[in-house]
Amino acid sequence: MRFIQIDKEQQNVPVVKNVIYAIKLCWQADKKLLIGYLMQEGMFCVFSFFIRNVLFLKILLEIITGNRDFATYVRALLAFAAVSVLCKVVSFWGMKMEKRATKNILKVLNNKVFDKAQSLDIACYEDPAFYDKYQRATLVLTSGYFDIICYDLASIIAEITSVICVFATISAINPVYLLFLVPVFLVFVIETAKSKYVYKRDMEMTTNNRIKAYVQRTVFLREYSKDMRTSNIFAVLMKRFEAAIDSNIVILKRYGVGLFLYSMVSSLFEEFIPIIGSYLYAGYEFVVKGNLTVSGFSVVLSSINSVRDVTLDITDCFDEMNQMALYFQNLREFFEYEPAVTSGSKKPKPFESLEFKNVSFKYPSADKYSLQNINFKLTKGETLAVVGINGAGKSTLLKLMLRFYDATEGEILYNGVNIKEYELEPYRNTFATVFQDYKNFAVSVFENVMCRPCTDEDKAFAENALKNSGAWKKINTFSNGGDTVLTREFDENGAGLSGGENQKVSTARLFARDFDVAVLDEPSSALDPIAESEMYDNLTRVTKDKTVVYISHRLSSAAMADRIIVLDNGNIIESGTHTDLMANGGMYSEMFTLQASNYNKEAIENE
Whether 407 and 455 map to the same domain: the answer is: no
Q: Is the pLDDT of residue 10 over 90?
A: no
Tell me if 322 sits within 8 A of 192, measured CB to CB.
yes
User: Does residue 2 lie within any of the structural domains?
Assistant: no
Looking at the fold, whether 506 and 525 belong to one and the same domain comes out as no
Rounded to the nearest 5°, which phi and psi values hold at 375?
A: -135, 120
Per mean pLDDT, which range of 6-15, 186-195, 476-485 is the poorest?
6-15
Does residue 1 lie in a domain region? Answer: no
- 331 and 450 in a single domain? The answer is no
Q: Which of 294, 310, 336 is where one domain is finished?
A: 336
Which stretches of 68-183 are DSSP H helices?
70-119, 128-142, 145-173
Angle at 372 between CA 561 and CA 377, to 5 degrees: 35
Q: What is the pLDDT of residues 207-222, one digit of tens each?
A: 888 888 888 878 877 6
- The secondary structure of residue 398, as a DSSP letter, is H
Asked if the structure places residue 259 within a domain, the reply is yes
| Cβ contact 505:486 at 8 Å | yes
| 8 Å CB contact between 449 and 505 | yes
Domain CATH number, residue 454:
3.40.50.300
* pLDDT for the residue numbered 323: 74
User: Are 455 and 402 found together in one domain?
Assistant: no
Q: Which of 8-12, 150-154, 387-391 has the lowest mean pLDDT?
A: 8-12
| pLDDT at site 3 | 33
Examine the domain organization and report whether 363 and 289 are in the same domain: no
DSSP codes of every residue in 563-585: EEEEEETTEEEEEE-HHHHHHHT
Whether 149 and 236 map to the same domain: the answer is yes
Residue, of 128 and 357, whose pLDDT is higher = 357
In 3D, which of 398, 466, 463 has the Cα closest to residue 433?
398
Domain assignment present for 167: yes
- Of the pLDDT bands very low, low, confident and very high (cuts 50, 70, 90), residue 438 is low
Among residues 579, 574, 542, the alpha carbon closest in space to that of 560 is found at: 579
Residues 55 and 204 in one domain: yes
Orientation of helix 70-119 relative to helix 145-173, angle to 10°: 150
Q: What is the dihedral of CA 128, 130, 132, 134, to 10 degrees?
A: -140
In a domain, 51, yes or no: yes
Region of 576 on the Ramachandran plot (φ > 0 left; ψ -120 to 50 alpha; else beta) = left
Same domain, 19 and 97: yes
Asked if residues 510 and 501 have their Cβ atoms less than 8 Å apart, the reply is no
Q: Point out which residues pair with 379 in neighbouring strands.
A: 353
Which of 313, 336, 359 is a domain's end point? 336
Residue 378: is its pLDDT beyond 90? yes
Structural domain count of the chain: 3
pLDDT digits (tens, 9 = 90+) for 247-276: 999 999 889 888 888 888 877 776 677 777
State the Cα–Cα distance between residues 388 and 368, nearest whole angstrom: 18
Q: Are residues 137 and 123 in the same domain?
A: yes
pLDDT-derived band at 161 (thresholds 50, 70, 90) equals confident
Residue 530 has pLDDT above 70, yes or no: no
Q: Is the pLDDT of residue 84 over 90?
A: no
CB 590 within 8 A of CB 581: no
Shared-domain flag, residues 489 and 566:
no
Whether residues 309 and 386 share a domain: the answer is no
386-400, 470-484, 512-526: least confident range = 512-526
Domain assignment of residue 282, yes or no: yes
pLDDT, position 529: 65
Judgement on whether residues 444 and 465 belong to the same structural domain of the protein = yes
Is the pLDDT at 240 greater than 90, yes or no? no
Of 336, 364, 395, which one is at a domain's C-terminal end?
336
Among 73-87, 297-311, 340-354, 519-533, name the one with the lowest average pLDDT.
519-533
Q: What's the whole-number average pLDDT of the chain?
A: 80
* pLDDT given for residue 420 in this prediction: 94
CATH code for the domain of 256: 1.20.1560.10
Q: What does the pLDDT read at residue 421?
A: 95
Residues 156/317, Cβ–Cβ less than 8 Å = yes
Q: Would you say residue 79 lies in a domain?
A: yes
> pLDDT band at 604, cuts 50/70/90?
very low
Determine the average pLDDT of the residues in 234-252: 88
Q: Which residue has the higher pLDDT, 534 or 468?
A: 468
pLDDT over 70, % of the chain: 86
Pairing of strands 383-387, 563-568: parallel
Structure confidence at residue 606 (pLDDT): 46
Domain that holds residue 472: 439-514
Q: pLDDT-derived band of residue 4, with 50, 70 and 90 as boundaries?
A: very low
Q: Say what the pTM is.
A: 0.63
State the pLDDT confidence band at 290, using cuts at 50, 70 and 90: low
Of these ranges, 58-67, 116-125, 154-163, 312-321, the one predicted with the greatest mean pLDDT is: 154-163
In this predicted structure, the answer to whether residue 455 has a pLDDT above a threshold of 70 is yes
92 φ/ψ angles, rounded to the nearest 5 degrees:
-65, -45
Contacts 24+ apart (CB under 8 A), 416-420: 416/352, 416/353, 416/355, 417/346, 420/342, 420/344
Residue with the larger pLDDT of the pair 606 and 15: 15
Q: Which of 328, 278, 285, 339 is nearest to 306 (CA)?
A: 278
Q: Is residue 451 part of a domain?
A: yes
Task: Please tell me the predicted confidence (pLDDT) of residue 372.
Answer: 94
